[in-house]
Structure 1
Amino acid sequence: MGAGAASALSTAPFGLWPVLFLTFPLLVLLLDGRPGKGWRAAWGAACDGWWFGFGYFLASLWWIGSAFLVEADVFGWLLPFAVVALPAGLAIFTGFGLALARLLWSNGPTRIFALATGLVAGEWLRGHVLTGFPWNSFGYALAENLALSQTAAFVGLWGLTLIAVPIFASPALLLDPAPPSRRALWPAAAAAVLLCLYGAGMLRLRQEIGNVADVHLRIMQPALPQDRKFAYGERHRILDDYLALSGQPSTAYPRGLDDVTLLIWPESAFPFIYDLEPWAPARIAAALPDNVTLVTGAARSGRPPSGQTSSIFNSIRVIDGDGVVRQSVDKVHLVPFGEYLPFQETLEALGLEQLTRQRGGFAAGTHHVPLDLPGAPSAAPLICYEAIFPHSVIPEGPRPGFLLNVTNDAWFGLTPGPYQHFLQARLRAIEEGLPLVRAANTGISAVVDPLGRIVAALNLGEKGNLDAGLPRGLDTPPPAGRYGATPFAGLYFTTLLLAVLGRRATRTPENTLKS
């Protein structure tokens, strides 16, 4: 558990990824020393993996508890359960990974590939089972370094994780009972691979990325506290504050909104349903010049999709200078317990609510739809944590010009959560070869180019506008964006083959009894 907790230092905002060179070798040593054989040994390894995962997720996800303090009188009693139960559940996948690794274990150096095969299988399942939650997958440790993160353009997050595990675990081989030169061979090879990835990433970062002509972005970050953000009684004041802040002149845009093409507001910007408040479109029309298009997160009401009962959607809405909604796209991947409850009617009957307190939960969109934006390329909309799912961010059809992520991380205050969220969204830009435009209520709002370089950003908790051009996307999508998970699948099969061949090569009658 201590090693798992220490591994959390590799996550944002700390980014101390070399700590994994100390903690992952401990996993190798644990599996080396696990007695028994077959399923009995696998069960013991699963227990080791569960404790490691529990420590890791407890130390890296504790900030989720902040959301339960926004309305502490209603949800505060759930805080200890959420802070402990979520890591405990996620650790099951780490335990599964170590059990699978133990079944593939050998006495030779290729056992680090068995560890990678098992752990990454568990991580992949964590990202897909029960709607998935791939937050802080181990590959993000390499994503902390911009040069190393370029590897994700070729193999995606899961491939990055598959590469990271054996590299970080390799120092354990220095303790093998072999001549010093042979013991050092594999760790040296791992270091060489890491240096090659870094060098290749630095070469890739030498590319110059220009801006799309005549597109001028303004991202408004209001830094509105969560307990005020949904206050219906303050709706007039909140909208007036948004418009006043959005219209301020700046060095880049001395005429304020007259110089802007797209004005972007964060997720759930309004504490009301826009279509049900006739004063709101009139006020927006009075404040926006004709040339400005407002793109904002906003709840909307509509007909429930087939099989769903709720009529409220978490959406992005495109509003023109007359205050008219020209397009709405709905969030497809909702947050469990935040935007809906599993077994909604049953749990509501027991008195439970999701954090948004939307009776009946939100309705989910049926599929991702691109945003058509006047005077700008189309955008792939990503509402809140939809940005954390690799290979699931691009709508069907023509390739969009950029990724648009609107989010509200005010639930989590000034904690590591918003930093981790931003890192994951930035990796999606690298995987897809598309720029990222991100509007967050309290931060981190940013414009990121298709290589993951931050063009401009507003710090967490900062109030203001971010003015920038729109970087161009890469002319050709990188392999991860073009072929999805296929490069990872090929890499995984290779890693599995190395683990199996290594096990067969060292499987003698003597070590068979020890396995």
Structure 2
Amino acid sequence: MRVPRFFLPPPVRACLTRVNLRFAGRMLGLGALTALALPPVHFLPVLLLSFGLLGQTLNTTTQWKRAAWAGGLFGFGFYAAGLYWLINAVLIRADEFWWFVPFPSLGCALILAPTAAVPAALSLLAAPGVRRLGAFAALWTLADMSRTFLFSGFTWNALGSCLAIPGVVGDILIQPAAWMGEDGLTLCLVLLSTLAGAACLRGSTLSPRTRSIILGGGISAILVWAALGAVRFYTATPAGEEGPIAVIAQGNVPETEKVGRLNPRDIFLRYLRLTHDGVQQALALEHRAPPPTDPTESDAVSEDTGRPIVFLWPETSFPGYDLLQDSPQARAIIMRWGGGAAAGLIGALRMDEQGRYRNAMLALAPDGAVEDVYDKARLVPFGEYQPPFIPLQIVPQGGMAAGPGPRTLHLRGLPPVGPLICYEVIFSGDVTDRHDRPRWLANVTNDAWFGNSAGPRQHLASVRLRAVEEGLPIARAANTGISAAYDGRGHLLQSLGWNRTAAFAVPLPAPLPATPFALYGQSIPLSACIILLVACISRTRKHKKNA
């Protein structure tokens, strides 16, 4: 059906002269379907259909503009569907920002669409067939890696996270992340999906012999992948001293209460009780007697003996930054209720010497003193800071100040720990200080903004992949869930589901030896992409020269 041109504004008319509605709808739909492969659905077969048809489109066109439109529309559909849950954050303050409701997911999708359009267009530098599809997979991964630098970075929904399936199957599939990181998983997944998907299509432009080779090689690659993953999962051995017993408190505080600064005293007391219960569980695990004093007594500071205990409160645990920053008495009360713990890691807002807010993690000593402070370095665009080109004031008071980057905290009585606040954990290869490797990771977050949606599950998948990449156990405290702890293989040790109020204690194992990815980081998937891309394009030029 043709749309009367006089009903459409000039920019839309210009677009429709280049891309017909059927083509646009197909590409948008394929992109949206691709989001089914992401956590928590993990429907991996859809990648054969979506990337197969996209690859077929790229193989049958000689026009870079058509290829760019195909990739851009595909990317827009993928990110719009995969990031639908961003709308929940606006609904928290719908009375003030009701007009902004459609923009988070669609706006992010519009910004991220070029990261799919550019690879699709540039893939035409390679000859049609296997080489073009290989070049596209390499370019897609390179563009995906570039999202680290957009604004302060926005690397949600990397396709490598699709392999983080809950349970033993996922444990095995994600092990190669220890060698090539999440972006390496993305490269392999896009390459296999595009080649095998195009080979399975009835109208494939690939020769029957090539299709047979691709399908046979794909099946062999999957079997080898699973075998290598299983070998590492079942043979990787922790080395050195065991980690601490992590007590994770999940207060389950609705975001409306925190935004409205409602019931701060009740929330504070809730976390005190959860901390006390969790530390008692930890002491029982060690068969240690509880502290001889009552937590309400003013001098109830206990000494650490045996395996160290540390408790974690989520990001911005309760309303009121000044309570922890300016009140030694409040901090001392927290540690009294956590009597028996060597330290407490508390997510809280603070104000620096220049009067700027910072999203921080405060490390409290047994006497309540602030032993160290970590400031969040990766701030959320539009949530914690406002990009300067946005003319409307969206973020209150212009947003927060960022910290310097990954650090290792050396706290008395604890193995060195790498702190991560909220979505800092999604940045593959940028979660630890490589010159001062920690022995475990602590992630505090507040996913209440995003409701009971795919967002918290996608976030959790990133936590699991960081454990595998770095070979480090990780403890995660989330305000409304999902709180969890993983070992250095990404195997779940214990978790607390969404919308639950509780605390649990989990002994963290020793870390694994530093993985290849922990040593060399993003240089591994970057090198793999460049080698594949050069191989695909150089062979194309060689064939053209011979012709």
Q: Structure 1 residues 10 and 70, CA, compared in 2 at 3 Å: closer, same or farther?
A: same
Identical pairs, percent: 34
Q: Retained in 2: the 8 A contact 1:99–1:118?
A: no
CA displacement at 1:424 relative to structure 2: 0.9
Aligned residue for 2:220? 192
Q: Retained in 2: the 8 A contact 1:299–1:314?
A: yes
**CA distance in 2: counterparts of 1:118 and 1:213, whole angstroms:** 41
Aligned residue for 1:52? 74
Is 1:115 the equivalent of 2:153?
A: no
Within 5 A, what are the aligned runs for 1:200-239?
A: 200-207=228-235, 212-213=241-242, 215-239=244-268
Q: Structure 1 residues 497 and 285, CA, compared in 2 at 3 Å: closer, same or farther?
A: closer
Aligned residue for 2:195? 170
Aligned residue for 2:526? 489
Is 1:368 the equivalent of 2:406?
A: yes
**CA distance in 2: counterparts of 1:507 and 1:291, whole angstroms:** 69
Q: Deviations over 1:318-351 (max 9, x none)?
A: 112322211111111111111111229x84xx5x
CA displacement at 1:149 relative to structure 2: 1.0
Is 1:435 the equivalent of 2:473?
A: yes
Is 1:425 the equivalent of 2:452?
A: no
Aligned residue for 1:294? 344
Q: Retained in 2: the 8 A contact 1:246–1:257?
A: no
Question: 3-state DSSP class of the match of 2:435?
Answer: coil
Q: Deviations over 1:452-500 (max 9, x none)?
A: 101111112222112110121113x111110112222321122113311
**CA distance in 1: counterparts of 2:211 and 2:261, whole angstroms:** 66
CA displacement at 1:234 relative to structure 2: 1.9
Give TM-score scaled by structure 2 length. 0.84
The counterpart of 2:309, out of the listed 261, 269, 276, is 261
Q: Deviations over 1:164-220 (max 9, x none)?
A: 111011221355456634421022212211221111001111036569548322100
**CA distance in 1: counterparts of 2:290 and 2:405, whole angstroms:** 33
Q: Retained in 1: the 8 A contact 2:408–2:437?
A: no
**CA distance in 2: counterparts of 1:448 and 1:285, whole angstroms:** 25
Q: Retained in 2: the 8 A contact 1:253–1:467?
A: no
Q: Retained in 1: the 8 A contact 2:420–2:443?
A: yes
**CA distance in 2: counterparts of 1:281 and 1:139, whole angstroms:** 41
Q: Structure 1 residues 296 and 257, CA, compared in 2 at 3 Å: closer, same or farther?
A: farther
Letter paired with 2:120: L
Letter paired with 2:215: P
The counterpart of 1:406, out of the listed 428, 444, 461, is 444
Q: Structure 1 residues 214 and 200, CA, compared in 2 at 3 Å: closer, same or farther?
A: closer
Q: Structure 1 residues 2 and 506, CA, compared in 2 at 3 Å: closer, same or farther?
A: farther
CA displacement at 1:96 relative to structure 2: 1.1
Q: Deviations over 1:354-403 (max 9, x none)?
A: 2xx3x231111123321223322111111111111111111253211111
Q: Retained in 2: the 8 A contact 1:264–1:295?
A: yes
Q: Structure 1 residues 256 and 230, CA, compared in 2 at 3 Å: closer, same or farther?
A: farther
Q: Deviations over 1:414-434 (max 9, x none)?
A: 000000001012111111111
Q: Structure 1 residues 54 and 266, CA, compared in 2 at 3 Å: closer, same or farther?
A: same
**CA distance in 1: counterparts of 2:289 and 2:447, whole angstroms:** 27
Q: Structure 1 residues 257 and 428, CA, compared in 2 at 3 Å: closer, same or farther?
A: farther
Q: Retained in 2: the 8 A contact 1:209–1:449?
A: no
Is 1:455 the equivalent of 2:493?
A: yes
Letter paired with 1:184: S
Question: 3-state DSSP class of the match of 1:269?
Answer: coil
Q: Structure 1 residues 281 and 188, CA, compared in 2 at 3 Å: closer, same or farther?
A: same
Question: 3-state DSSP class of the match of 1:110?
Answer: helix
**CA distance in 1: counterparts of 2:522 and 2:236, whole angstroms:** 27
Aligned residue for 1:135? 156
Q: Retained in 1: the 8 A contact 2:460–2:482?
A: yes
Letter paired with 1:236: R
Give TM-score scaled by structure 1 length. 0.89
Is 1:2 the equivalent of 2:29?
A: yes
Q: Retained in 2: the 8 A contact 1:107–1:506?
A: no
How many residues of Structure 1 are paired with residues of Structure 2 in the alignment?
491
Aligned residue for 1:24? 51
Q: Retained in 2: the 8 A contact 1:108–1:506?
A: no
Question: 3-state DSSP class of the match of 2:178?
Answer: helix
Letter paired with 1:440: A
Question: 3-state DSSP class of the match of 1:296?
Answer: strand
Question: 3-state DSSP class of the match of 1:370?
Answer: coil
Q: Retained in 2: the 8 A contact 1:300–1:314?
A: yes
Q: Structure 1 residues 430 and 74, CA, compared in 2 at 3 Å: closer, same or farther?
A: same
Letter paired with 1:299: L
Q: Retained in 1: the 8 A contact 2:376–2:421?
A: yes
Aligned residue for 2:118? 96
The counterpart of 2:103, out of the listed 81, 101, 104, is 81
Question: 3-state DSSP class of the match of 2:350?
Answer: strand
CA displacement at 1:75 relative to structure 2: 1.9
Please, which moves more after superposition, 287-296 or 13-22? 287-296
Q: Retained in 1: the 8 A contact 2:308–2:413?
A: no
Q: Deviations over 1:59-80 (max 9, x none)?
A: 1100000000111111222011
Point out where structure 1 has 5 or more consecutive residues left out of the alignment. 305-309, 511-515
**CA distance in 1: counterparts of 2:151 and 2:339, whole angstroms:** 45
Q: Structure 1 residues 147 and 279, CA, compared in 2 at 3 Å: closer, same or farther?
A: same
Question: 3-state DSSP class of the match of 1:488?
Answer: helix
Q: Deviations over 1:64-108 (max 9, x none)?
A: 00000111111222011223111111112111111111232x233
The counterpart of 2:333, out of the listed 283, 288, 295, is 283
Aligned residue for 2:180? 155
CA displacement at 1:53 relative to structure 2: 0.7
Q: Deviations over 1:249-304 (max 9, x none)?
A: 67664489759710111111131122234552343244232544211111112124
Point out where structure 2 has 5 or more consecutive residues left out of the alignment. 1-27, 292-306
Aligned residue for 1:377? 415
Q: Structure 1 residues 60 and 450, CA, compared in 2 at 3 Å: closer, same or farther?
A: same
Within 5 A, what are the aligned runs for 1:333-344?
A: 333-343=378-388
Within 5 A, what are the aligned runs for 1:461-476?
A: 461-475=499-513
Question: 3-state DSSP class of the match of 1:467?
Answer: strand
Please, which moves more after superposition, 190-199 or 219-228? 190-199
Q: Deviations over 1:137-180 (max 9, x none)?
A: 12222343321211111111222211111101122135545663
Q: Structure 1 residues 294 and 58, CA, compared in 2 at 3 Å: closer, same or farther?
A: same
Q: Structure 1 residues 285 and 399, CA, compared in 2 at 3 Å: closer, same or farther?
A: closer
Question: 3-state DSSP class of the match of 1:340?
Answer: coil
Question: 3-state DSSP class of the match of 1:353?
Answer: coil
Q: Retained in 1: the 8 A contact 2:332–2:369?
A: no
Q: Retained in 2: the 8 A contact 1:265–1:297?
A: yes
Please, which moves more after superposition, 245-254 or 225-234? 245-254
Question: 3-state DSSP class of the match of 1:232?
Answer: coil
